[in-house]
Structure formats: C-alpha cells, structure tokens
Chains A and B, each alone.
Chain A
Amino acid sequence: MNEVVLAVLAVPFATALVTVLIGHHSTGAAKGISVGGSAIGLVLAWALALAHLGAAEPFSRVFASTDGIAPPIELAAYVDPLCAAMLLLATTVAFLVQVYSLGYLEHDPRYPSYTALVSLFTGAMVTVVTADDLWMLLVGWELMGACSYFLIAHHWELADARAGAVKAFLITRTADLGLLFAIFVLGQRFGSYRISTIMAAIVDGALPRDELWLPALLVAVAVMGKSAQVPFHTWLPDAMPGPTPISALIHAATMVAAGVFLVARMYPLFLSAPSALTLLAGVAAVTMFLAALYALVSSDLKRVLAWSTVSQLAYMFGALAAGAWSAAVLHLMAHGAFKALLFLAAGSVVHAVGGSTSMDAMGGLRDKVPDTFVTMTIGFAALAGVVPLVGFFTKDAVIHAAYEEAAHGRLVWPWVAWLLLASMVLTAVLTVAYSMRAWLLVFFGDAPRGAVEVHDAPAVMRVPLVLLAIPTALGGLVLIVPGILGPDRDENLFHASTSVLMTVLVVASGTVVVWLWSRRGREMWGRVSVPHPPIDVVYERALVRPVHGLAALVRAGDRDVIDAYADGAAASTRGVGWLFRRAQNGSVQGYLMVVVVGAAAIAVAAGVLA
C-alpha cells in the first residue's frame, strides 16, 4: 500500500517532467506520454480508492519528517473514504481531459507545455487530497493556483486571458493567506501539523471552543477564495478565456473542488467553531443566488457554466454549514461529473461553431452535433436536478439537510439557516431556468444568420462525453450503497417529501421557461443586467490604487533619492575628469616643459630645504 500511495503522488509529477523534457521535440511523444501517464495515474488511483471507499480504517503513514524543528514538517499521506472519492474524481476527470485535449488542441503549438501543466495540476490536486501534513497540503494548494494561472493564460496573446489569469492568481493568492495563517495558529496551538492528529485532538475536546474560531475563520477565508465565493467570486467567470478542457478541470475536479474538500477534511474544526459555519452559510446563501442570477442573463455559454459552478459550490458550502457532510461531499462528486461533462460538451459546441463562445452564434445545433446534444442534455438535466439523474439526489439531500438545520438546527444562527434554505430553493428554480435557457438557445431554434459551417467534433472528443454521461445518469445509485463515505456516514440521504416537492418545482419552472420560449423565442427575458455588487470596484479602490500609489512612491524614491546619489557621484567624477583632461593636449613639448619645470622646482626645493 505504501508504494501505491507514493506512486499515485509521484506519477503525475513525473509525467509533467517527462513531458516537458521530451515533448518539445515531438508533439506525438508529448501526446503519448501525457495520456499514458494520466492513464497510469488513473489505474493506480482507482486501485487505491476502491480499497478505501467505505473502509473504516484510514491509511495513514509518514514517509519522511524533518528533524530539529518542533513541530516537525512531514511528508505524510492519509487515505480515507473522502480522499478516495476525491482521488477518483480528480484522476478520472484529468484523464478524460487529457484524452479530450488530443482533439481540442490538436493543432495548438503550445500543446506540450499545456499538457505538462495539466499533469502538474493533477499532481497538485492529488497532493492536496492525500496530504496529512498542513504544509504539504499548502504546497499542493499553491501549486494549483500557479497552474491555473498558467493554463488560464494559455492564449496569452489575448488581453482577456492575461487579465483573467492575473486576476485568478491574485484573488486566490490573497485568500490563501488565510490558510497560511491558519497553519501557523493550528501548529502553535496543537503542537503538530498533522491534520489527522489535530482533528482527533479537536474531537477529543483538547481545546476550548474559544481557541478554535480563529483558525476556522482563516481556513474559511482561504476556501472562499479558492472556491470563488462572495466576495472572491469574480475571478472564476473571468477565467473563461482559458481553453475549455481547462475549465472542465478547474471547475469539476481540481481547483474549486479543493475548497470544499478542505472544509470537509477539517470538518471537526468547523463543527467546533459555529462562527465560521455561520459565515460559510451566509456567504453560501448570497453566493448561490447571485451567481444563479448572473447565469440567467449571461449570453456567453461558458460564463453561464462558470456562474453555475459558483452557485453549485455554494450549495456544497451550504450543506457543510448545515451539518450535512455526506450530502456536501456527494454533491461535490456529482457536480464534478456533470460539470466536467457540461464543459467538455460546451467545448465540443464551441469547436463546432468555429470558436465563438457566445450563444448568439449558436442555435439549432441538435441534429448537427447529435452526440454532444444527447450528453449535454443529460448534463443540463443533472444540473437542474431532474429525476433520476445524479444532481437530483444530491441536491435534494443538500436542501433537505438545510431544512433540517433551519427547523431543528444547532450549528448556525437560525435566521441564517432559514435564509440559506430559502436561497437554496429559489436558486434551484433559477438553476432550472438558466439550464433550460442555455440548452434551448444552443440546440433549438434556428441557426443564426451568417453562421459558419458546423463540423462535428472528432471521436476522441466525443468518447469522454459519453464516459462522463454514465456517472451523471447513474450516479444516484451510489446513494443506495450505505456508508460508502465511511461506516459512520450511513445517514439516509433520500427523503421522499423533499424530492416530490423539488420535482414539482423543477417541472413548474421548466414549463414556464418552455412557455416563454414558445411565446418570445430567443429573448425569453429581457437582458436586464443584474447589478454587479461593486466588488471589483472595491478591490480597485481599496487595493489596486493604493498599491499603484505605493509603487509610484517607491519608484520616485528610487529615481529621485537613491539614484541621485549614484548619478551625483558619476557627475562629479566626470567633472573632475573633464578638468584634468585639459592637460592632455597632445603636445609632447608641452609635456616635456612640465617635466623640466617640475624637475627644476623639485631641485630648487631640495636645495632650499636641505
């Protein structure tokens, strides 16, 4: 088991390294290495994960440890059902993205570096989910931020891509400071950086609650940044200029999922800190509703999906805040499956219409890209929560948990819990609306005038769609297996009353959307621009401009004060040099005159003094 865990950790990094070393000489080799490497990683991760899904005893091992500092920093792995599920999700989506990229980036000159970064990204996520040491986790966490920066800026000749990459990096990096300081606080208070040790100590009540709210809040800030929750939500939609498979990877399996994972991993800490849970609940309530509104009016297919990711992540945080750990994790899995499917299908659609992501350029595509149409329909239905797809079960479990918390809750403030529940139900309706709108706009109606000739995606892009459609359609069966996330996590997640109620809501809102579509066509509702909360303006005023001012001040200080000394020294040297250069006029007889007069003067002086 030791070797398997180490191999799961090492294979993606090794793949990335070999791809960088060899791939630039031959694109074919890069393709083989990256797909083969991710396939090996996939097999290893499945072998490891299937052994631990539902297992009572987690695998925990320290491979290496630092001497001489206390508490030690360790290379430690911890594989429990949560980690196993995340490994399954991350490596599967990464493998499918690698396969899909063969077709999507077929003629891209930057394919080798792209695919190496995807491998590195996967390795970082695997590091995060298997790490048992907080510093090791931080390494993977930051590595993901860096990889997302490079991959979003894949088309760096586009100003949008550069700006989006910088924004994503800066915002997540700023929020990551929370994790860094949480590590300091936890290490200082518990005398250990091992997550399992710290969590066991919290469960045993080693520290009073007053000692725990600070690290919990700091971690909450970090995950809000990573998972794009208000007020850090602005980076995720702006990251859309990146290649579409990258969006699938970031949104489904790695970057944003890591935020939810971290809360799930450190759940005892949050249960002991109600203030952090309340913060998460409030943030989730606001985020899911706002993001759904944006998705409702966006005219860009990828931005609709991006906002829906923000909204669905808020569902997971809401479930975690409501105490429904299993529902949150299962919704994360389900979301990973159907969001990867949706993004890859969107990539196929974008590929079909020649590169535009605007839904104005799409329409009537259902018989032109039939495979994509079927699979994307399944994906949208799962997102909207249609019976019997996976999103239906997990979303209902989340909403039921929120109801339980609001009615009999003890974790968060009651009015926040009610707000959360109301926001969840409203958002579920909005989710149906924006899913159906995007679906109708892309696949139904007439093709827009002046549209380019549609060409279907190659098989290598369609196969991953079908493979992802399977768990999206049948993932609900997992709920039948009790205790898949551990023997003590066997609560019943299916509640008939909630399900019936939600199905009625879904059908009703779907009917309304179809009725609007038949009445008004493509303009189902006016393109009202939902007022953006002035988050970006606040960042601009509070952070960007002061930093620019400071930079101008430092520049002026450097140029006008520090450089002045150096320039002054140079100028005075030049001046003195200019003075003495006058003497060297090239007249040899002049020089000799100086020598003779000087020698005479010395002789006279010697005579006088002697």
Chain B
Amino acid sequence: MPLWWPLLVASLLFAIGVYGVLVRRNAVLVLMGVELMLNAVNINFVAFDAQLRDVLHGGQTFALFIIVIAAAEIGLALAIVLLVFRTHGHIEVDDLRELADRDVGDLDKLDHPGERLDHPGRVS
C-alpha cells in the first residue's frame, strides 16, 4: 500500500477537524473536531511506523499514548461543557465572550454579574 493513501486520509480528517473547531458553534461538535484532528495524527504515526519498519514501534506506542490522553481530555472537556450549560443555559461557543476586552462601563451589561469581579479593569 503506497504511503500517500493513509496520508491523504489523515490530511482530510485533519482538515475536517480544523473546520469543525473553527466553524461549529456547538461546543460538543467542536470537541468532536478536536478528536478528528488527534486521530488524523494517529493515522500518520501508524502509517510512518509501518513504512519505516521501526524496530521499537515508536509510532504505534505514541498512538496508544495519544488515545489515552484523548480519552482523558474528552472527559475533562465534557465536564466543562456540562458546567457551561448549567451556568449559561447553552453551549454556543460564539456567545461565550466574557473574556473579551471591554471598557469598564460595559461590565454592567454582562449577563452574569458574578463574573465582573474577575475583570482586571475594575476596582471592586
């Protein structure tokens, strides 16, 4: 099997993942984009491992590590998404803009008064 087949699949997967992360508004779908990117990298690792006939199989080992880390990451991320849903009532990434720079006067327009305390421009 020529090397470019898996590389093409990996590239397509990675591109779809980037697209999902950049464009999707739903936080769960953004996370799915992240997963796609990670697995594209896994394909690359395995493909090169096979191609180069690595004695120690470093590529496969690394892929396993990435799978474990991705599982941990997705657990953490889903917990965050759950918390965001509880506090905001939605998980639209576009609307989560509390960290934007804004003038002090704009603080009063925040949806959630508790968050203004963290703003550095405000002396409370």
A residues sitting closer than 8 Å to B (CB atoms) are 581, 584-589, 592-593, 596
Check if A589 sits within 8 Å of B21, measured CB to CB.
Answer: yes
Contacts of A585 in B (CB 8 A): 97, 100-101
Check if B93 sits within 8 Å of A589, measured CB to CB.
Answer: yes
Contacts of A596 in B (CB 8 A): 18, 22
CB distance from B88 to the nearest CB of A (A): 14
The answer for the CA separation of A446 and B96 in the assembled complex, in Å, is: 92
Over the window 14-28 of chain B, the binary record of Cβ atoms lying under 8 Å from chain A Cβ atoms (1 yes, 0 no) is 000010011100000
Most central of A584, A586, A596 by chain B CB within 10 Å: A586
Between-chain CB contacts (< 8 Å), 24 pairs: A581-B101, A584-B100, A585-B97, A585-B100, A585-B101, A586-B96, A586-B97, A586-B98, A586-B99, A586-B100, A587-B94, A587-B97, A587-B100, A588-B93, A588-B96, A589-B21, A589-B22, A589-B23, A589-B30, A589-B93, A589-B94, A592-B21, A592-B22, A593-B22
Contacts of A593 in B (CB 8 A): 22
Given A589-B93, A589-B94: A584 in contact with B22 (beta carbons within 8 A):
no
A584 touches which one: B30, B96, B101 (CB < 8 A)?
Answer: B101
The answer for the CA separation of A592 and B18 in the assembled complex, in Å, is: 9
CB distance from A453 to the nearest CB of B (A): 60
The answer for the CA separation of A467 and B93 in the assembled complex, in Å, is: 96
Contacts of A587 in B (CB 8 A): 94, 97, 100
Q: How large is the interface on B (under 10, 10 to 19, 20 to 34, 35 or more residues)?
A: 10 to 19
The answer for the CA separation of A474 and B22 in the assembled complex, in Å, is: 110
Contacts of A584 in B (CB 8 A): 100-101
Interchain residue pairs A-B with the least CB separation, the first 9: A586-B100, A586-B97, A584-B101, A581-B101, A585-B100, A586-B99, A593-B22, A589-B22, A592-B22
CB distance from A349 to the nearest CB of B (A): 60
CB distance from B121 to the nearest CB of A (A): 11
Contacts of B94 in A (CB 8 A): 587, 589
Contacts of A586 in B (CB 8 A): 96-101
Over the window 83-124 of chain B, the binary record of Cβ atoms lying under 8 Å from chain A Cβ atoms (1 yes, 0 no) is 000000000011011111100000000000000000000000
Which chain B residue shows the least CB distance to A581? B101
Most central of B96, B97, B101 by chain A CB within 10 Å: B101
The answer for the CA separation of A592 and B19 in the assembled complex, in Å, is: 11
The answer for the CA separation of A418 and B23 in the assembled complex, in Å, is: 111
The answer for the CA separation of A313 and B73 in the assembled complex, in Å, is: 98
The answer for the CA separation of A587 and B92 in the assembled complex, in Å, is: 11
Contacts of A592 in B (CB 8 A): 21-22
Q: Which chain B residues in 40-89 approach chain A with CB under 8 Å?
A: none
Which chain A residue shows the least CB distance to B25? A589
The answer for the CA separation of A593 and B24 in the assembled complex, in Å, is: 12
Most central of B22, B23, B94, B98 by chain A CB within 10 Å: B22
The answer for the CA separation of A594 and B100 in the assembled complex, in Å, is: 16
The answer for the CA separation of A107 and B30 in the assembled complex, in Å, is: 82
CB distance from B49 to the nearest CB of A (A): 24
The answer for the CA separation of A596 and B37 in the assembled complex, in Å, is: 13
Contacts of B101 in A (CB 8 A): 581, 584-586
The answer for the CA separation of A589 and B98 in the assembled complex, in Å, is: 14
The answer for the CA separation of A215 and B93 in the assembled complex, in Å, is: 89
Contacts of B18 in A (CB 8 A): 596
The answer for the CA separation of A184 and B50 in the assembled complex, in Å, is: 100
CB distance from B20 to the nearest CB of A (A): 10
Excluding A584-B100, A589-B22, A596-B22, 6 further A-B contacts by CB distance (< 8 Å) are: A585-B101, A586-B101, A588-B93, A589-B94, A592-B22, A596-B18
